Amino acid sequence: MDILYSDKPMLALLVSAVAAMFILFTGERRRNLREFWTLLASVVKFSIVASMIPLVLKGKIIECTLFHLLPGVAFQFRVDAFGLFFATLASALWIATSVYSIGYMRGLQAHSQTRFFFCFAFALHGALGIAFAGNLFTLFIFYEILTVSTFPLVAHKETSEAIRGGRKYLAYLLTGAVLIFFSMGVTYALTGKLDFVAGGFLQGSGSDPLLRLLFATFIFGFGTKAALMPLHEWLPTAMVAPTPVSALLHAVAVVKAGVFCVLRVVLYVFGPKLLYDLDLWLALAYFASFTIIVSGMFALAQDNLKRRLAFSTINNLAIIILGAALLSPSAITGGIFHLAAHGFMKITLFFVAGAIYVKTHKENISELDGIGKKMPITLGSFAIGAMGIAGTPPLVGFISKWYLCLGSLEAKEIVFLFVLLISVLFDIAYFFPIVYNSFFKKTKDEMKSGIQEASMFMVAPIVLCAILSIVLGLSPNAFVHFFEMASSAMKNILGSGGG
């Protein structure tokens, strides 16, 4: 594989860190300038990331080594197809979220907006760092940056509920981090290296029970961030955060970073062959299936819209992990692609929930009757997103689900096909009542008639994301070649690991 040395990964990372500093020093007085920094940074960041796509698609790896940390481990960024996939997703959706959060925060006249935008930019810094990290050690550094920078966002409201949410978030994630720390130490003690290798590098370096234990601590460690059940409890609680946070971080950057790390461990540390030998893939697949089914049930019971979305997120994250665990070509492609597919659809749904909240201060599903007539564009987008999650063609959700189903057939495990199909039924069961009620039920008296959409800052990103999830469904390679990146990542993994 060709390796190309370039500073671009580092630049892409630094953009948001530098922007965070500008945001901090601009402050509340010049809020327009402050928001300008956010927007500028998100666009610049996306363009830097996007500029790397053609090279990576040609099979090159972009590398940037800063300095040496431990014997055999450097502070290093290595951009491969998989990492770039996640980076593209996170930075693309940051643009939409930036626009949206300006509308949201101003619409609610929220306090401490500087801290909010500062931490947001830093969280993105962490997410990109995770995407580009060339080894576990570098990844862990950014993983912790992401964890810590998200804490103030979760506790943003400063109510006792928000602070409790923040505490819970930290308790779960720091415990997870400690487990990762441990697993990383053991890995390093076993092999003396931590660099990711497509197809894994742990083979033959420890006794079977030890490797199984290591796998468990890795999965439980990263699983906290990926909200695998029973480690998910922080995510619904963290929904007290402002909606842009829930949207980008709890649907894309943070939890997906968790999933991304799980996939990195599964596919780039352990590797398909080792997982087959130790039968761990099946254990992980069942673990994920459990989450898929149970979170679906939980979602049905939620009345708070954002909490329902949170459980749906947990459901979809587990689907991605299931894809990786099945280790068949289509399943891996589908799983990776679902990272992006779910990202676009779920962010639409969260944006809608936020728009409803800003406009009507309603958070519960039971209060949303007839709201579709007030906010037709918003709720229309919600319907699109919901259909996408349920896997309706021609939406983007269909493509990933299709590949995942194919993958479970390739893996010759029919059980997981049923799990996937049941999860689709759950999706329909918990989303469609919302769509139905909001459009077809009578409006309650207290609401005035007439169209009352939220501000343009909020509607535009909603519509954009909804449209994108249709366009990507029709042409999965549109704009940034998501599908091609996913399949090239799959080829790297299976090509050298020998699935």
Residues that bind other proteins (CB under 8 A): 67-70, 74-75, 140-141, 144-145, 147-148, 151-152, 155, 158, 162-163, 166-167, 170, 174-175, 177-178, 181-182, 185-186, 188-189
Task: Find the shortest distance in angstroms from Cβ 32 to other proteins.
Answer: 19
Nearer to other proteins by Cβ, of 162 and 485: the residue is 162
* Min dist. Cβ of residue 95 to other proteins (A): 27
Nearer of residues 254 and 336 to other proteins, judged by Cβ: 254
| Min separation Cβ 104 and other proteins, Å | 20
Smallest separation, CB 68 to other proteins (Å): 4
Which of 5/25 has CB closer to other proteins? 25
Q: 429 with 308: CB under 8 angstroms?
A: no
Closest distance to other proteins from the beta carbon of 20 (Å): 12
What distance in Å separates the CA atoms of residue 384 and residue 273, rounded to the nearest whole number?
39
CB of residue 152 vs other proteins: minimum separation in angstroms?
7
* Minimal distance, residue 116 CB to other proteins, in Å: 12
Shortest approach of other proteins to residue 473 CB, angstroms? 39
Which residue number, 213 or 429, has a Cβ lying nearer to other proteins?
213
Is 70 or 421 the residue whose CB approaches other proteins more closely? 70
Between 129 and 296, CB nearer to other proteins: 129
The residue among 67 and 442 lying less far from other proteins, judged by its C-beta, is 67
Q: With respect to other proteins, which residue has the nearer C-beta, 58 or 111? A: 111
